[in-house]
């Protein structure tokens, strides 16, 4: 298989299959939660739960006082990852081809800097897993695997952008393959928190809200 054939396959049938697995997988993940249900709370509520639940979905994005340092690398790579995914011109092209929607891109020089920051933050997060006693104890094989499949698309994308490697087409194909891998494993690893955090934050906020505790 030539590099071009691999690229064609990666962004054709392979990407489509990965998207299907991602969507079905995430659906399973959400159903796994919702189908368990919860008992009706018979206590007399002090306040409603909908408002506080929804507010917590947003408010919990802010660190509680004094913990911003622990959050910093997380913020940097999450924001960086999303910005590069959504505002890099070739990515927008893909969205245009796939869904016929487009929006203005950020300058590539800025995307370049953001990519470097994202990779640095990811590497820093990984180093914490090795050095910080709490994170070392909590870390599982799944955590390292999740880190790897998140890091690969960023790293291969950076390589493609800078024409690193002998064959641009091959690097691009590997970039897309790494994205496919991310999509496939997404629902079956902790990466699914990208969707399930909506539920966990809502339940926590709603529970506190009905007690009249503003969290």
Partner 1 sequence: MSESVDRAVNAMKEQIDAPIASYFSSCVHCGICADACLFYTETGDPQYTPIHKLDLMKRVWEREYTFAGRIKKWLGLSRNITENDLTKWETLVYDSCTLCGRCSLYCPVGNDIVTMVRKMREAMAASGHAPEGLQQASKRAIEIGSPMGVTLKTLEAQIKHAEKEAGMEVPLDKQGVDYLMLLSSAEIAQFNEIIPAVTRIFHEAGVSWTLSSEAFEGTNSGIQIGSSDIAAELIQRIVDGAQKLKVKYVISPECGHAYTALRWEGPNLIGKPYPFEVVHIIELLDQLRTQGKLKLEGKDETRQTFHDPCQMVRRGGVMEQPRNLMNMVATDFVEMTEHSLMGWCCGGGGGVSANERAEPLRRKVFSKKREQLEEIGVERIVTACSNCRNMLEEGLEDNNMDEIEVVGLSEWLAEYLVTSSPRAAGDDS
Binding site residues, partner 1, CB under 8 A:
25, 28-29, 32-39, 41-44, 46, 56-57, 60-61, 63-65, 67, 70-71, 74, 132-140, 143, 188-190, 192-193, 196-197, 199-205, 207, 211-215
Nearer to partner 1, 27 or 89 (CB): 27
Closest CA to 57 of 192, 201, 203: 201
CB of 187 to partner 1, least distance (A): 8
Q: How far apart are CA 4 and CA 8, in angstroms?
A: 6
Question: Hey, how many other C-beta atoms are within 10 angstroms of the C-beta on 131?
Answer: 9
In the complex, least distance from residue 133 CB atom to partner 1, rounded to whole angstroms: 4
Cβ at position 65, least distance to partner 1 in Å: 7
Question: CA angle, corner 26, sides to 25 and 32, nearest 5?
Answer: 90
Give the residue among 186, 187, 163 at the shortest CA–CA distance from 175: 163
Shortest reach from residue 23's CB to partner 1, in Å: 14
Residue with the two structure tokens 């955090």: 197
Q: Give dist(CA 127, CA 136) in Å, integer.
A: 10
User: Which residue lies nearer to partner 1 by CB, 77 or 161?
Assistant: 77
* CA distance linking residue 72 with residue 200, whole number of Å: 22
In the complex with partner 1, the residue whose CB is nearer, 4 or 34, is: 34
The CB-of-130 to partner 1 minimum distance in angstroms stands at 13
Which of 168/203 has CB closer to partner 1? 203
């Amino acid at each position: 298989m030539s590099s071009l054939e691999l690229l064609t396959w990666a962004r054709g049938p392979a990407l489509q299959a990965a998207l299907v697995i991602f969507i079905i997988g995430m659906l399973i993940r959400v159903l796994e939660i919702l189908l368990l249900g919860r008992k009706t709370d018979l206590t007399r509520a002090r306040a409603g739960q909908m408002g506080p639940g929804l507010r917590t979905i947003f408010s919990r994005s802010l660190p509680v006082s004094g913990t911003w340092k622990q959050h910093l690398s997380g913020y940097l790579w999450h924001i960086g990852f999303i910005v590069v995914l959504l505002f890099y011109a070739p990515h927008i092209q893909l969205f245009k081809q796939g869904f016929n929607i487009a929006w203005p891109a950020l300058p590539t020089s800025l995307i370049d800097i953001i990519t470097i920051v994202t990779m640095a933050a990811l590497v820093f997060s990984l180093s914490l897993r090795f050095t910080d006693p709490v994170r070392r104890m909590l870390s599982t094989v799944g955590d390292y695997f999740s880190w790897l499949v998140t890091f690969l698309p960023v790293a291969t994308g950076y390589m493609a952008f800078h024409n690193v490697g002998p064959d641009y087409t091959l690097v691009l194909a590997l970039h897309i393959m790494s994205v496919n891998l991310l999509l496939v494993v997404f629902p079956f690893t902790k990466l699914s928190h990208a969707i399930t955090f909506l539920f966990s934050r809502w339940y926590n906020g709603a529970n506190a809200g009905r007690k009249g505790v503003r969290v």
